[in-house]
Structure 1
Amino acid sequence: MKISNQDLTPTNYADSFSLARKLKRHHHFYLGPTNSGKTYQALQALEKAKSGVYLAPLRLLAMEIRDRLVASGVPCNLITGEERVIMAGAKHTASTIEMMNANKEVD
């Protein structure tokens, strides 16, 4: 039996994220030219939040951000396809995109 991509794709993709769709969400976009402080500002906001997630396209970037948060006194988990470093009491997570937990509510 051959399975196509259409068989694996939900009819309405948005229905895959029912929890997120029920929440009153706020999205923050940091737009600007290269080297204008977008990442710096976003990480400052993440550090100040009660909980949060940093999603990285690459494992090494997720590790770098996790190390940066921990160094600034913010307990942070690391979750990638290759490893999981869980800190007791951590409410922040640095993760690769494919490991995102769409069922966990964060600030």
Structure 2
Amino acid sequence: MQQTYEECIKACQECLEACNVCFDSCLNEENVGMMAGCIRLDRECAAVCSLAVNSMQSGSPNVKEILKLLVKVCESCGNECNKHEHDHCRKCAAACFTCGEECKKLIA
């Protein structure tokens, strides 16, 4: 594993955790129907974060392409989470934006 991946892997793992917490918390909100978009993007972002971590740890030749995808997914998820006032959504948005920024450093 390249040392340059360490910060990105950490950000991806934190984002994955924040997305999972947000997803689970959204399911417990009073009006869960209004949270459908957030839930969908939380799941997608968590899945792509996991893929990105695995690709960086295994030295995949497709790391940059996966990170480019993750930048887009993190932006979408972060923007959706920012539409909601819930603390878990705000924390998830922050983690998504941080993850996206770390990914951008590696694909620049």
Structure 1-normalised TM-score? 0.25
Q: Which structure has greater helix proportion?
A: 2
Structure 2-normalised TM-score? 0.25
Q: Give the structure, 1 or 2, with the largest relative contact order (CA under 8 Å, sep 6 or more).
A: 2
Q: Which structure has greater strand proportion?
A: 1
